[in-house]
Amino acid sequence: MNLSRKWLNEFVDLPLSEVPDRAFAEAMTVSGSKVEVTEDLSETCRNVVVGRVAAMEKHPDSDHMWVCSVDVGREEPLQIVTGAQNVSVGDLVPTALDGALLPNGMEIRTTELRGVRSEGMLCSLKELGLTVHDYPDAIENGIFIITEHCAPGDDVAALIGRDDHVVEFEITPNRPDCLCMIGLAREAAVTFDRPLKLHTPAVEAKAGGDIRELTKIVIDEPSLCRRYTARMVRNVKIAPSPAWMRERIRNAGMRPINNLVDITNYVMLEYGQPMHAFDFSCVTGGEIHVRCARPGETIRTLDGTERALSESMLCICDTEKPVGVAGVMGGENSEIVGDTAMVLFESANFDGVSIRRTATALGMRTDASSRYEKGLDPENTFRAVQRACELVEMLGAGEVVEGIIDVYPAGRKETVLNLEPGKINALLGTDIDADTMRVILRKLGFAVEGEQVTVPSWRADVEHWSDLAEEVARFYGYNEIPTRFTGGISTCGGLSPEQAAEKRVGEVCRSLGMDEIITYSFISPSWYDRIRLPADSPLRNSLRILNPLGEDTSIMRTTVLPSMLEILTRNYNYRNKEAYLYEIGRTYLPRPDGLADEPKTVSLGAYGEKMDFFVLKGWGEALLAALGIENARFTADDKNPSYHPTRCAKIFAVPSDNARRERSPDRSADTLAVPPAGAHEVPIGTLGQIHPLVMRNYGIDAPFYCAQLSLDALLALRGSTPVFRPLPRFPAVTRDIAVLCDAAVPAGDMQDCIRAAGGETLKDVRVFDVYTGTGIAPGKKSIAFSLTMRSDDQTLTDEHAEATVRRILAALEQNFSAQIR
Amino acid sequence: MREMMLNLQAAARKAILESEDLEALEALRVRYLGKKGELTGILRQMGKLTAEERPRMGQLANQLRAELEEAIEQRRRDLNDRMLELQLQREAVDVTLPGLPRKLGHKHPMYNSLDQIKDIFIALGFSIVDGPEVELSDYNFTKLNIDEGHPSREWTDTFYFDPDSRVCLRTQTSPMQVHAMETRPLPIRMIAPGRVYRKDEVDATHSPMFHQIEGMVIDKGVTMSDLKATLNLVVERLYGAGTVTRFRPHHFPFTEPSCEMDIQCHKCGGKGCPTCKGEGWIEILGAGMVHPKVLAGCGIDPDVYSGWAFGMGLERLAMGEYKITDLRLIFENDVRFLEQF
């Protein structure tokens, strides 16, 4: 909503000299009418004055240019060269002086045109930011010949109404009453505590007759049209509206058309009530029916577009056809044209939601529909139609017919609230006395009788005592409300244990060198093909958005893998040498109730020179260790279609005795799945190299390494607070053994075997070498383990250590036919 | 004999001082002080002395031995020091060469900002609450006093999963207010950060998925005064002590009164500049007193309890903090971007 400061003064005395834009904007903003920007229109039209062409002669060196001598009210006339052909001696023309700034951004300097000095420029309409709509007598292509009463030297900015300041407001959707001059004037009057000067329109209706004998208005859809008020004008004389009206319309951001159309727009800007004028001769049957469109009906709207109407769209119709889309745009078939003689003014109230949906469906949001869609005051239709007719008489645009048709089926509904100062103060934390509250409310137009507050009709947003609290607070001043902690019981803030563990996961990932990424929760269904998810995979059962932005963001992911691969691919394609990434992201698994389980996955992904399976596995192990998960098991997984079949591991762990069970009592909302009791192994996730066929789908010729670990499983399996274990008091004995066995025997199985055979004394076993090749028979491998043995109560003897090693070697031989090398 | 000893003393002293390494020094010790050394050799001739001279010479010999031992020891220390010095010189490194690169990972800049906010609110006694993103329209809209027919409920604005518009992607974190009120014991002090979704095409300032932080307090005797005090405190922590704020009326269906909070533009100090679009103020969050109707709808008696709530956009906060100029960078996850923070 653009507000003209000049126009505002008609309703509230707020001269610019007293309240400059800055102060006006600040005060209005903090009382609830947010100012976006203010603009001094004269700033962009500087040093342009009225000039009188005193003499003209042909340019000596051009066949079309003229050298004019222009009187600009100074002692000496200026010499100005122009190429325009519509200027004659004696014309008054807008003259841009040396140093002038024009609304189109052009700066004018004294210059030479083909050797002749030109001390300024004669301006066209366009160069002044105007069109023929603003000055219907002027011509489009040529110098603007001024017909207004003025003298050489007069400021053109003032002459064309640019001596104004425009304030642009951002009005919240609950305040459609502020989408007009009177509404904003009311807010300004209360904000600056000045009287609001309102005018009651008076219509003489000298034409006599009676509208009721000329037409009939029927509302078929009273729920969509709460009120329809109409008056008629005959002997209409279509002409340009006067300059003052054109200026106000233009400064409010609209375009002047002709007197009748301008009047409807002027009333909308002034009262906030959209109006429409029909050429009554085009209303077949002389009746107006407010009804929904019938199947197959169409209308060509004023913008010249043929539009198909649907049955939910409210229309203004004659006895045969729609003549307008209610609240959106009129029909071309009843448009006001040059020879229109009889006009019907419509001032109606329509249902906001219906208008919005119609406007959206037709793709035409208009000044009218954008007001209607917020829900307008039905009490306003009467005042507005009166004002329109008053203006018709004032402008001599026609003769108003006696009588008003006013169809208002349900009549006025009043909202009456109780003023409860105690409650209001308790909500605000203030100590405002009841009388101050009453004064504020009365100024805003509320009727206050004791404790009873009647809400003005234009304030449909006020329906609860807390709304009154806001009205009081707005004008008491939000910034006057004291800033202090007033109430309440202390609460202990903090992360829940699960949130703290999740934070720890992020810290570990970063300490391992991974950068955190954030990816979209929605993906394309084709991404499941890219990761080779089988057609019957349950993960393909995704929640599908019915109105997605596009295919790429149309389903909710059930796996974070494609999101990670997308980002790795992007980085690879950006020629980043390496990328180590992690995300703790949700997946969305459909539930029977239509909602989703949204478990989080720790997703790791990397590529680069230093990456291989074991770097990735090391990351996985570090994460498990950081969470105190001690008994995790990695098993080869050749069934996962997204991963390299011989370079992929599944991870499991058994909940250990000290796995966390405790929950802080007040965090019931942060529930997590706890694994079932007992020694069942819980799957944690998968890690490995991405399958080369998947890599081909992403068009990448390099290995990617990814891991997906269930955060819920990690959190459920994580160890409790560590309990101190005494440091060993006796020295350890280390023995290295190397055995020869089938290459296919998993090292993990051999380690398990060694641990079992080693017993209590064996404190640690590590693989330190795996060798195949020269000296080793094909199909065999040499694998070397480092064994750490220690007794807790004495120094371990060599004999004891040897015995343990022998036991281990025997077990390896028995289980894997492994021979010592 | 005395003369012999004095000669030995002079020769030994000189030799010790001139010895250049530990082996040579040890050889000198053996030569002069060893069992078959020169001093012992001289002492063997004690038998030729008178009984009177013997103790005097004995004393002199002992003095000489002690003195030479001390000289050797001193020389040993000096030689050790010198060897250490040489070793240190040999071990010299060019300290201007780069260190061994250790790649540290980086938190996503947006989560840096989020963690700052979490820390501030935790210190103020708030818990962090998490909730569903696939949400019932009932929670996203209806229970927040956003009626059927509200424009934000249109399919042009909100993503839906069913033709009846029953299940949607939450368009705001505000449904977490409802979840918290329905499930958590009173009093409540919580923030709920998370992803939200709106049907906006991707550009430099829009994304169909973005993040908000919701916050809410429900307790007896909570007022707009508390709201202002708490949010002022938070803003001072975020933007520095002395940050000037202002509250101005706004509209949210689920708070009444509602407000937006601005901070004075740090760039121009409120005079107006391109950063604040000439306004002198930068909007940072929306807030308000929880609408009594919303409280009642969640089973909390508005005559006993009151509350306040706020919501803020995380992307804009992070972009402001790190001067990030394009929202798309946030979700592009280019490591050259991520590693700047």
Instruction: Give the 3-state secondary structure of A654-679.
Output: CCCCCECCCCCHHHHHHCCCCCCCCC
**pLDDT tens digits along A276-295:** 999 999 999 999 999 999 99
Between the alpha carbon of residue B38 and those of residues A375, B6, B30, the distances in Å are 123, 12, 9
| Mutation target among A481, A490, A558 for the B interface, most CBs of B within 10 A | A481
Domain limits, chain B = 2-90, 109-338
- CATH 2.40.50.140 domain position(s) in chain A: 46-159
Nearest CA in chain A to B262: A30
Per-window interface: B 110-139 vs A, CB < 8 A: 110-111, 118, 121-136
Mean pLDDT over A157-167 rounds to: 91
* Closest Cβ opposite residue B161 in set A483, A520, A546: A546
* Contact status of B333 with chain A (Cβ, < 8 Å): yes
Nearest CA in chain B to A351: B149
**pLDDT tens digits along A302-359:** 999 999 999 999 999 999 999 999 999 999 999 998 888 999 999 999 999 999 999 9
| Mutation target among A461, A547, A672 for the B interface, most CBs of B within 10 A | A547
* Contact status of B320 with chain A (Cβ, < 8 Å): no
- Contact flag A666-B228 (C-beta cutoff 8 Å): no
Distance from CA of B327 to the nearest CA of A (A): 12
Rounded Cα gap, residues A434 and A424, in angstroms: 10
**pTM greater than the 0.95 cutoff:** no
> Which of B124, B123, B128, B147 has the alpha carbon at shortest distance from B137?
B147
- CATH 3.30.56.10 domain position(s) in chain A: 2-42+165-191, 416-480
- CATH 3.50.40.10 domain position(s) in chain A: 211-407
pLDDT of residue A662: 43
Rounded Cα gap, residues A464 and B296, in angstroms: 13
* Closest Cβ opposite residue A518 in set B110, B118, B133: B110
Q: What is the pLDDT along chain B (341 residues), one digit of tens a residue?
A: 788 888 888 999 999 999 999 999 999 999 988 888 888 888 888 888 888 888 888 888 889 899 999 999 999 999 999 999 999 999 999 999 999 988 899 999 999 999 999 999 999 999 999 999 999 999 999 999 999 989 999 999 999 999 999 999 999 999 999 999 999 999 999 999 999 999 999 999 999 999 999 999 999 999 999 999 999 999 999 999 989 999 999 999 999 999 999 999 888 888 888 888 888 899 999 999 999 999 999 999 999 999 999 999 999 999 989 999 999 999 999 999 999 99
Pairing of strands B167-169, B127-128: unpaired
pLDDT over threshold 70, residue A672: no
Bridge partner list, A50:
A94
Distance from CA of A205 to the nearest CA of B (A): 41
Report the 10 Å Cβ neighbour count for A522: 25
Check if the beta carbon of residue B333 is closer than 8 Å to that of residue A518.
Answer: yes
* Contact status of A510 with chain B (Cβ, < 8 Å): yes
* Contact status of B105 with chain A (Cβ, < 8 Å): yes
* Closest Cβ opposite residue A487 in set B189, B220, B330: B220
Give the type of residue at A569. Answer: T
Helix (H) or strand (E) holding A727: none
- Contact flag B332-A594 (C-beta cutoff 8 Å): no
Rounded Cα gap, residues B171 and B165, in angstroms: 13
The CATH homologous superfamily for domain A46-159 is: Nucleic acid-binding proteins (2.40.50.140)
- Contact flag A518-B180 (C-beta cutoff 8 Å): no
Rounded Cα gap, residues A216 and A244, in angstroms: 35
pLDDT of residue B311: 97
* Closest Cβ opposite residue B133 in set A464, A516, A598: A598
Between the alpha carbon of residue A781 and those of residues A452, A736, A744, A820, B290, the distances in Å are 95, 16, 8, 12, 71
Into which CATH architecture does domain A416-480 fall?
2-Layer Sandwich (3.30)
Mean pLDDT over A526-534 rounds to: 97
The CATH homologous superfamily for domain B109-338 is: Bira Bifunctional Protein; Domain 2 (3.30.930.10)
Phi, psi of A581 (to 5 degrees): -130, 150
Mean pLDDT over A573-581 rounds to: 97
* Closest Cβ opposite residue A493 in set B126, B258, B333: B126
pLDDT over threshold 50, residue A671: no
Average pLDDT along chain A = 92
Rounded Cα gap, residues A602 and B39, in angstroms: 82
Fold of A497-663+670-717: BirA Bifunctional Protein; domain 2 (3.30.930)
Q: What is the secondary structure of A530-575 as a DSSP string?
A: HTT--TT-GGG---B-SS-SSGGG-EE-S-SHHHHHHHHHHHHHTT
Per-window interface: A 645-684 vs B, CB < 8 A: 666-670
Rounded Cα gap, residues B263 and B101, in angstroms: 41
Q: What is the secondary structure of A395-456 as a DSSP string?
A: HT--EEPS--EEE-SS-----EEE--HHHHHHHHT----HHHHHHHHHHTT-EEETTEEEPP
- Contact flag A427-B224 (C-beta cutoff 8 Å): yes
* Contact status of B107 with chain A (Cβ, < 8 Å): yes
- Contact flag A356-B199 (C-beta cutoff 8 Å): no
Please, which residues have CB within 8 angstroms of residue B27's CB and are 6 or more apart in sequence? none
pLDDT of residue A679: 57
pLDDT of residue B267: 83
* Contact status of A458 with chain B (Cβ, < 8 Å): no
Which of B268 and A505 is assigned the larger pLDDT? A505
* Closest Cβ opposite residue B219 in set A173, A489, A511: A489
Quickly state the pLDDT bin for A487 (edges 50, 70, 90): low
* Contact status of B184 with chain A (Cβ, < 8 Å): yes
Residue A180 tokens, joined: 């007009």
Mean pLDDT over A37-52 rounds to: 91
**pLDDT tens digits along A769-818:** 999 988 899 999 999 999 999 998 889 888 999 999 999 999 999 999 99
Cβ contacts below 8 Å, chain A against chain B, sum to 265
Which residues of A are less than 8 Å from B187 in CB distance? Answer: 488-489, 491
Rounded Cα gap, residues B210 and B195, in angstroms: 6
* Contact status of A480 with chain B (Cβ, < 8 Å): no
Rounded Cα gap, residues A387 and A383, in angstroms: 6
* Contact status of B321 with chain A (Cβ, < 8 Å): no
Helix (H) or strand (E) holding A243: helix A243-251
Check if the beta carbon of residue B272 is closer than 8 Å to that of residue B264.
Answer: no
Mean pLDDT over A408-421 rounds to: 94
Distance from CA of B255 to the nearest CA of A (A): 9
pLDDT of residue A792: 85
- Contact flag B184-A668 (C-beta cutoff 8 Å): yes
* Contact status of A814 with chain B (Cβ, < 8 Å): no
**Positive/negative CA dihedral, B140, B143, B145, B150:** positive
Distance from CA of A288 to the nearest CA of B (A): 28
Give the type of residue at B156. Answer: T
* Closest Cβ opposite residue B151 in set A356, A484, A486: A356
Distance from CA of B252 to the nearest CA of A (A): 9
* Contact status of B65 with chain A (Cβ, < 8 Å): no
- Contact flag B105-A594 (C-beta cutoff 8 Å): no
* Contact status of A37 with chain B (Cβ, < 8 Å): yes
pLDDT of residue A298: 95
Domain A211-407 class in CATH: alpha beta
* Closest Cβ opposite residue B107 in set A510, A580, A667: A510
| Mutation target among B102, B103, B260, B271 for the A interface, most CBs of A within 10 A | B103
Report the 10 Å Cβ neighbour count for A453: 23
Rounded Cα gap, residues A2 and A755, in angstroms: 82
- Contact flag A428-B224 (C-beta cutoff 8 Å): yes
pLDDT over threshold 60, residue A503: yes
A2-42+165-191 maps to which CATH number?
3.30.56.10
> Which of A739, A642, A756, A755 has the alpha carbon at shortest distance from A695?
A642
**Positive/negative CA dihedral, A457, A459, A461, A467:** negative
Pairing of strands B188-197, B127-128: parallel
Rounded Cα gap, residues A162 and A123, in angstroms: 15
- Contact flag B104-A510 (C-beta cutoff 8 Å): yes
Alpha-helical (H) ranges within chain B are 2-18, 22-33, 38-43, 53-90, 109-123, 137-140, 175-183, 224-239, 292-297, 314-322, 328-332, 335-338
Length of chain A (residues): 821
pLDDT of residue B41: 86
Rounded Cα gap, residues B312 and B234, in angstroms: 12
Nearest CA in chain B to A572: B334
Which residues of A are less than 8 Å from B153 in CB distance? Answer: none
Report the 10 Å Cβ neighbour count for B198: 17
Fold of A733-820: Alpha-Beta Plaits (3.30.70)
pLDDT of residue A680: 79
Rounded Cα gap, residues A641 and A124, in angstroms: 72
* Contact status of B296 with chain A (Cβ, < 8 Å): no
- CATH 3.30.930.10 domain position(s) in chain A: 497-663+670-717
Q: How far is CA A671 from the centre of its chain?
A: 32
Kindly report which listed range (A360-364, A764-768, B49-53) carries the lowest average pLDDT score: B49-53
What's the half-sphere exposure (Cβ side, CA atoms, 13 Å) at B68? 30
Which residues of B are less than 8 Å from A506 in CB distance? Answer: 107, 111
Phi, psi of A426 (to 5 degrees): -65, -30
* Closest Cβ opposite residue B122 in set A173, A495, A548: A495
Which residues of A are less than 8 Å from B250 in CB distance? Answer: 32, 34, 172
| Mutation target among A36, A474, A485 for the B interface, most CBs of B within 10 A | A485
